[in-house]
Structure 1
Amino acid sequence: MVAKLLDIAQAATTATLLMRKKSMAESATFSRDMDQSRRAIRASRERLRQRHRDDVARGWEDADPSTVVVSAFQADVFRSAFRALVRETGTPQCQWRDLAKALVHDFTGCELIETGLVDWIVSK
């Protein structure tokens, strides 16, 4: 009887140790896979940033230096970025136009910005 209880206890201990070892191995594998995914995402983001920089630089080289065309999609991105920036920084409404102009200027590099675009970005 004592031998049976000892065998049962030993089997339970062995099973527990095997499960813990398997769990630790799975955790290590999961962590390694997550690290690999993070590195792949980071590399992908960097390639996209570089491609964007190259596209913007190429666009500036090809464009007439006095004018820069802003597409509807870009204008919508400006407006979304502007709204998020105002929410995050708590910029007072009296400074919104200057912030919108600075945002468009930073992206396009153009000094002259259409007032209609700024009005639309700032509008509620």
Structure 2
Amino acid sequence: MDLIKHLETARAVMETSFQLQSRSMTGTAAFRSHMDHTRQAIQESRELLKRLRQRYREDMAQVLEDEDDVAPMRISGFDADVLRSAFQNLVRDADVPECQWRVVAECLVREFVGCEQIEAGLLDWITKK
């Protein structure tokens, strides 16, 4: 009787071991499949980003070519808020005197939009306390 119980226990242990091994192989296969899918998604994202950058470069080149015929470049409200926040941090961190604020704001906006003409109202708003 002891021998039968030991054999049944051994069979149960072996069966459980095989099931665990099977689940482990299935889990490994699923993990590899997920990793492949993730790698593919990352690659597609990189390609999309490359296309967007190229389209942006082409659009900017077209704007520069047609500079005389194009209306002034517009800055969104969000971009203006970002510029103002960057300006405030720059002035605070660099301890820029108030008499130079407008020049700093002008340089910051020029760097952002990439053109020489800047609306005075935008500079006034950025430098406002």
TM-score by length of structure 2 reads 0.74
Partner of 1:92: 91
Equivalent residue in structure 1 for 2:109, among 101, 104, 108: 104
Query: Would you say 1:78 and 2:82 are equivalent positions?
Result: no
Partner of 1:18: 22
Residue 90 of structure 2 aligns to a residue whose secondary structure is coil
- Per-residue deviation, residues 18-66 of structure 1 (Å, max 9, x unmatched): 111111111111111111111111110111111011111101111218x
* Partner Cα distance (2:81, 2:121) in 1: 16
Residues 110, 118 of structure 2: 8 Å contact kept = yes
Partner of 1:5: 9
Q: How many residues align?
A: 119
* 1:114, distance to aligned residue in structure 2 (A): 2.1
* 1:96, distance to aligned residue in structure 2 (A): 5.5
TM-score by length of structure 1 reads 0.76
Which runs of 5 or more residues in structure 1 are unaligned?
Answer: none
Partner of 2:63: 59
Which runs of 5 or more residues in structure 2 are unaligned?
Answer: none
Identity over aligned pairs, percent: 28
The change in CA–CA distance for 1:96 and 1:2 in structure 2 (over 3 A counts) is farther
Residues 68, 108 of structure 1: 8 Å contact kept = no
CA RMSD after TM alignment = 2.7
Equivalent residue in structure 2 for 1:48, among 27, 32, 52: 52
Please say which structure displays the higher CA radius of gyration: 2
